[in-house]
Each structure stands twice: as C-alpha cells, then as structure tokens.
Amino acid sequence: MIDLRSDTVTQPTEEMRKAMMTAVVGDDVYDDDPTIRELESYVADLLDKEAALFVPSGTFGNQLCLMTHTKRGDEVIVGYDSHIMAHEVGASAVIAGVQLRQIESQGGRFNIETLEGYIREEDIHYPDTGLICMEQAHGDGSVMPLEHMKKISDVAKKHNIPVHLDGARLFNAATALGVEVSEVAKYADSVTFCLSKGLCAPIGSMVVGTESFIKRAKKYRKLMGGGLRQAGFLAAAGLIALKEMVPRLKEDHDLAKYLASELDKFSNIDVIKERLDINMVFFKMTGVDEYKFISAMLQKGIKINGIEDGEWRFVTNNDVSKENIDYTIETMKVLI
C-alpha cells in the first residue's frame, strides 16, 4: 500500500523498534524513567528552552498548554483555520474552559493591527486575553517567515500575553526555513511538536517551555490522564526520531514538490503552489467523483483522504518513495 493520507501513518524504523526493545524504563509518574528524562532534557536543549514534557499526542500537548497558560473564561486568540480551532474537537471549551477568538489568518500570518485590536482592554464586561496561539508549519502546508513570528511575539510581549506555538510540524518548518528549530521556537513561551508525524515515532509529542510552566503542565498532564508509566519505550523511539529522522525531512519536501509538478500536468488539476513549503501538496481537481476516485485508487493500492474545504491533500513521508509517486501519477492517468 502507498499511503498518501498523512505523515502520521509512518511505520517506526527498524532502529526505533530495536531501541524500544532494549529501552531502560521506569515509572514516569514517579519520575523514575531514565529514557523519558533523557528525551525531555534533549528536547529542552534542542529548542533552547528550560524544560520539556512528553505527552501522548499533539492535541493533548496543545490543550495542556492552553490549560496551563489560562484560567477559565479567558479568551485565546487563534487563527480561524488553526488546528486548535478546527481540528481539536472543541477541546478548549471542555478542558481549559476558554473561549477562542478567531483571527483571519493566511498560512498562520495575522494582520498585526487586527491582532493588536483583538487584545482586550481592562473592562468589567470583557474576558481577559489569556493567550495568543501561532501555528508553524501551518496545517495548510505553508511556513511563515520568522519576521512574522517576531511581529506576533512583539505584540504579545507589549501586552504581557504569553504565546503558544502549535509546532506539530516544527521540524518541517525549520527545514523549510533552513534554520535551527530553536530559531523558530524562540518566538513562543510554550511549544508543542509531534514525534509521530514525519519523524516516524509511533506515539508522542513534546511540550516545551520554562521550568515553572512545565512543572504546572506536568500536574495538569496527570489531571488529563496523561501521566504514563513505563513511557521510556516511547521515548526511546522519540530520541531516534529526533537524532536520525530530522535530516531526511528535506527528502519529503523535495518529493512533495516533484509530486506537485507531476500533478500540475493534469489539465483538470490545479496545484496550490503558494502553499508548497513542506511535505503536503494541496490541489483542486474537477470532473472527478470523490468517492469513486478514492475507492478506485484504493483498489490500485493507494490510500488517499477525501476532499476538505474543496481541496485534496497528498502527503509525502518516510514510507513513500519516488517510485511510489511515479506509480501514483501513472495510476491517476488511467483513472481521471
């Protein structure tokens, strides 16, 4: 099977499987797991932050950060098309008990004047603005310039509001920008990133921030049911994800660009080239029945997702080769 649905579908590598088999573990709720500790301190160093925390998923990490930064009833400013807004099941209302204020966004970029206007003044009627969230790389496939992150961060600092970065694909963003991840992370007080997307770990995300923030987050992690026991098995894979799998993200990005150029040759396909910064290709396709196409592709051994917001999305990852892409294109020539 060729799976183009996401980069979450990746299989752990042989090296990860071996590392998991031999990992030294302990009860992490008792702070007894040396492999988790190693991962957390490795990640804190890598992002140039004080501390880090292993969490089960990216959604968990984002929602944990929202809860840790805010109090109930606070307002959190998020992009209208952000993952926190659109793809986390309304969790912020349930867990942190905050209200989300959606801001117009283009690949995570906000109009800075609009952003500043959205920050609440002190008034007995108003909620407090408790947090501003950024997303980088953005789920729409684009990466915003660091200067824009700085502008958002400057506004937040001016008003003394913390910034959370949903960096599920932080390493893809840093790869696309050609900078160290710490250069991206520095514009946020807290960061979440996934080990289990393009980096191929089977499970896990990291939350990163100051010592005191992580200490509070750790208690809320327990509240949310995320206090794990022998989690070092997962950390062992996570360490390999970070040490071995980061340099090859560029291959996914290059392959996505190749895929995009091949797709663009179809007369009924319109690739969205402005959002081709990482490993995701978005495109519009006319004259094709969605469900028939998906099942015909599946019959040929290719798994794809359906249309979202009028767009198709194909994602490259460690388990997708150039030959797989060529086969996909040849198959589509027959089918559409």
- Give contact residues for ligand PLP (rule: CB under 6 A): 57-59, 62, 83, 135, 139, 166, 168, 194, 196, 205
CB of 62 to ligand PLP, least distance (A): 6
d(CA 195, CA 256): 20
CB of 187 to ligand PLP, least distance (A): 16
CB of 86 or CB of 335, closer to ligand PLP: 86
CB of 194 to ligand PLP, least distance (A): 5
CB of 165 to ligand PLP, least distance (A): 10
CB of 135 or CB of 252, closer to ligand PLP: 135
Cis check for the bond before 260: say yes or no (omega within 30 of 0).
no
Element (H, E) at 103: strand 99-103
CB of 84 to ligand PLP, least distance (A): 7
CB of 8 or CB of 331, closer to ligand PLP: 8
Structure token pair of residue 98 = 């905050």
SS3 readout for 5-56: CCCCCCCCCHHHHHHHHHCCCCCHHHCCCHHHHHHHHHHHHHHCCCEEEEEC
Q: Which of 122, 149, 111 is nearest to 133 (CA)?
A: 149
Cβ distance 260 to 315 under 8 Å? Answer: no
Looking at the chain, the number of H-run helices and the number of E-run strands are 14, 12
CB of 3 or CB of 135, closer to ligand PLP: 135
> Measured at CB, which residue is nearest to ligand PLP?
58
CB of 59 or CB of 293, closer to ligand PLP: 59
